[in-house]
Amino acid sequence: MRVLVTGSSGQIGTNLGLRLLEQGHQVFGVDKRLNPWVDNAYPTLLQDLAGHYPAYTGGIGGVEYPEVDLVVHLAAHAKVHQLVRQPHRALENAIMTFNVLEYARGRDLPIVFSSSREVYGDVHRFEGYDETVADFAFTESTYSASKIAGEAFIYSYARCYGLRYLVFRFSNVYGRFDNDLQRMVRVLPLFTHKLLRGEPITVYGEDKTLDFTYVDDCVDGIARGIEALASGRVVNETINLAYGQGNRLLRAAELIAAELGVDADISVEPPLLGEVTHYVADVSKARALLDYDPRVPLDEGIHRSVAWFKEWRAAHPAEDIAIVEDQDRAAGDIPHGFKQPASAGR
């Protein structure tokens, strides 16, 4: 198959692109930045997908794309708290999705969309969240809003124009290709980086319990979805793709410290504004429809992630520098550490 992957220079895009190549597919990437980890594994167009482009069926923004069979739309501003501080980026996410949908509509291409567990909000009402319980009245953050908007566009295109889709709701994907310094705001690589350097770390949310998904499990699920959607076997479904188990973020931090063999200096603060503090996915639909079978529990995933991180760092010693967190924060933004208000009305 020929697969167009947007966001192909990101964490999931890089892992997915390599996996699809291994499986014998052709990959065409689109991203606004160069891939920080792999060179020329597949052709990649550097393009900003968030522009306001006139309709053009050959590709987005008047650029002629190669013929493809299916689109995987991963490109997004993917950091929750960054979008709370900079809500215009949430709008850009919606514009990117709109552009990709218009392209898919013009070429009659099926699409896989990367949504998030964020669409469930922070409601603490369920043991395991199945796909039916998402409720936009609980939109937790502007990032969540951008994913809900993306899903809504997808469903409306299916109804109005016969779009074929799969929506995947990911949750805390971690593992290789998530450590680029400029954007190191993902929590597990940030902890690894800091603990390796003997720096203190902060866990926002003592009891924060999340469903951490090792990237190989995530990519395995997407690859299964691509095959199922392309063959017409599974069409127009929304599916949780996670490990299916809750773990405290504090435990993840401790596992990283243990793996690195360091005494961690961990402080605990209240969760940040807009964050989900409890989520455990019900992945039975993915199991039933796609034979999805996540295999990497958190302790094993952290073992592999830390091993990869150390190997990468050994080959790139210049990256052993202090991280300026929230580099994209501008004056006037909500300060980092802004406390969550009382959750009235939940």
Closest residue to ligand NAD using C-beta atoms: 10
Q: What is the chain's percent helix, strand, coil content, to nearest 5?
A: 40, 15, 45
What amino acid occupies position 199?
E
Site for ligand NAD contains 48 (CB under 6 A): yes
> What is the Cα–Cα distance from 28 to 103, expressed in whole angstroms?
15
Give me the phi and psi of 154, to 5 degrees please. Answer: -60, -50
Site for ligand NAD contains 76 (CB under 6 A): yes
DSSP 9-28: TSHHHHHHHHHHHHTT-EEE
Interface pick for ligand NAD out of 12, 45, 230, 286 (rule CB under 6 A): 12
Interface pick for ligand NAD out of 3, 4, 5, 13 (rule CB under 6 A): 13
Site for ligand NAD contains 184 (CB under 6 A): no
65 token code pair: 């794309």
> What is the Cα–Cα distance from 144 to 135, expressed in whole angstroms?
11
CB 6 within 8 A of CB 30: yes
Site for ligand NAD contains 20 (CB under 6 A): no
Interacting residues of 29 by C-beta distance below 8 A, sequence separation 6+ = 4, 5, 6, 8, 9, 13, 17, 35, 42, 43, 44, 45
Interface pick for ligand NAD out of 21, 26, 32, 328 (rule CB under 6 A): 32
CB atoms within 10 A of CB 91: 16
Closest approach of ligand NAD to the CB of residue 314, in Å: 22
> What is the Cα–Cα distance from 112 to 154, expressed in whole angstroms?
10
Site for ligand NAD contains 33 (CB under 6 A): yes
Site for ligand NAD contains 96 (CB under 6 A): yes
241 token code pair: 């793709």
Nearest CB to ligand NAD, comparing residues 112 and 198: 112
Q: Which of residues 210-229 bind ligand NAD (CB under 6 A)?
A: none
Q: Which of residues 109-128 bind ligand NAD (CB under 6 A)?
A: 114, 116
Closest approach of ligand NAD to the CB of residue 166, in Å: 13
Interface pick for ligand NAD out of 3, 4, 5, 7 (rule CB under 6 A): 7
Nearest CB to ligand NAD, comparing residues 10 and 221: 10
Q: Which of residues 257-316 bind ligand NAD (CB under 6 A)?
A: none
Give me the phi and psi of 259, to 5 degrees please. Answer: -65, -35
Site for ligand NAD contains 49 (CB under 6 A): yes
- Report the run of H or E that residue 300 belongs to, with start and end: helix 298-315
Nearest CB to ligand NAD, comparing residues 171 and 277: 171
Nearest CB to ligand NAD, comparing residues 31 and 140: 31
Task: Using the rule CB under 6 A, give the single segment among 2-10, 157-165, 191-199, 232-240 that binds ligand NAD.
Answer: 2-10
Site for ligand NAD contains 189 (CB under 6 A): no
Task: Using the rule CB under 6 A, give the single segment among 63-71, 164-172, 190-198, 259-267 that binds ligand NAD.
Answer: 164-172
Q: How many residues bind ligand NAD (CB under 6 A)?
A: 25
- Helix, strand, or coil here: 210? strand
Q: Dihedral of the CA atoms 127, 122, 139, 221 (nearest 10)?
A: -50
Site for ligand NAD contains 242 (CB under 6 A): no
- Report the run of H or E that residue 293 belongs to, with start and end: none
Which residues make up the interface to ligand NAD (CB under 6 A)? 7, 9-13, 31-33, 48-50, 74-78, 92, 96, 114, 116, 170-173
